Each structure stands twice: as C-alpha cells, then as structure tokens.
Amino acid sequence: MLLIGETGTGKELVAHAIHKLSNRHTQPYIAINCGAIPETLIESELFGHEKGSFTGADRQRMGVFEQSQNGTLFLDEVTEMEPALQVRLLRVLETGEYYRVGGTQKLLTRARVIAATNVEPEEALKEGKLRLDLYYRLAVLPLYIPALRERIEDIPILADCFLTALAEELGEYKQLTAEAISYLQTQQWPGNIRQLRNEVSRAYVLTDGSTIGIASFNVYPKPNVS
C-alpha cells in the first residue's frame, strides 16, 4: 500500500489505524522515517546486521523487518531511500526473503508494508527518486490523503480530539468558541494536521478559563507561505 499526501496530513495516523483495524492488530507496528536515517545506517535499520559486519557493529542487531515480523511496517518518505536500497526492498516485498547486513542466513518476514510519500509519484519517478518497479509493487492500493484545507469539515473534530488529549494530560478541559472554529476553518494550513495540533495546543496554554476564543489564535504573526 502507498499513502500519498502532503507533509503533516496524517499519513502515519492512517497507517496505524489500518493496523489497529486489521487482523494483525495484536502483532507489532513499527514506523520509521526513511528520510531521517543516514544513508550509511538505513540498510542496517531495515534488515539488521551481524556482529562485526562493519565498524561499530559490536553485536547482532535486528532490523525493523525482523521486529515487525507478522505485523505492520510503516516506511515514511520512501522516496528518500537510495535506488540501490529500493531494489533490496522490492525483493523483500516480492519474496519475503532478506539477509542481515554481513549475514549469510536467509530470513523470512510476513510483515505488511505500508509506504508513504509527500511527493507525487509521477514527479518522484521523473526525478529518479522512486524506481518504477517498486512503485508498481507499492501502488497496488494507492491512497491519497487530502490536505487539511481540502477537508475543513474535519477541523472541529480534529481540534476537539486535540483538546481532549490535552485535558487528559493536563487535567483541564477547554472548548473552542464558534467564532474560533470558524477562524480555524478559514486558514490555509500549509502544515496541515500537524500545524493545527500545534496551534490548538498553544491556544490551550495561552487561555485562562474553559473557553478558547479567536484572540488566542492571533498572538503571533503567521509566516508568509505561498
């Protein structure tokens, strides 16, 4: 499965929901960001390594394929993975077989892989960030996650979820006024759900009392993002 959407649209939340609602929900759910792991380490992160396979490998280490085993493995920003490593990933997806770095023992995995990207697949293919064969393998079931500005009807629900989580953590429930909700629905949200969560959290902290009005969202100037 391939999840496609802008940064902050909640792709990992979707992947985790798919896992929780599937018959694999009792098995591990492992998530990694392929763009946040150095190129020299990501192969070991995915497949693990044997002791002595490279400088600093002082013990055997399981990779995320081994850790997730019969569960779900979420690979975020898969287009940031080097093409050579995409070949290895494709083989695992097709056969379920892989080797630890420096290893000779064939390992098997039944993990379900859900990948995600914030780049349009056609653009990633054109720029050489995504191999065509890997794309065909992942895009058996492509799922586009709309930007928050395209689903403003979700904003009150999301904001309430964030406020409920803050209330459980900090012990005080606060709610938005109708004016504040309308204000939030007029914004563009270039940072999508992640930005909304940060804005709601800041308004919660800045508000005395149980009602959050529009003034709590107009404290700092917004960056000019086109």
Furthest CA-CA distance within the chain: 63
Where b means 16+ CB within 10 Å and e means fewer, 30-46 reads bbbebeebeeeebbbbb
Both ends of the chain: CA-CA distance in Å?
A: 31
Taking the chain (226 residues) in runs of 10, the rounded mean pLDDT of each run is 94 94 96 90 91 85 92 96 92 94 92 95 93 93 93 94 94 94 93 94 92 81 54
Q: What is the pLDDT of residue 5?
A: 95
Q: What is the pLDDT of residue 155?
A: 95
Phi, psi of 30 (to 5 degrees): -120, 135
Q: What is the pLDDT of residue 219?
A: 52
CA–CA separation, 8 and 189 (whole Å): 10
39's enclosing H/E stretch is helix 39-47
Domains (ranges, CATH) in the chain? 2-144 (3.40.50.300), 148-217 (1.10.8.60)
Token reading at 54: 């490279």
pTM greater than 0.85? no
Q: What is the pLDDT of residue 223?
A: 55
Q: What is the pLDDT of residue 2?
A: 95
Q: What is the pLDDT of residue 52?
A: 85
Q: What is the pLDDT of residue 225?
A: 53
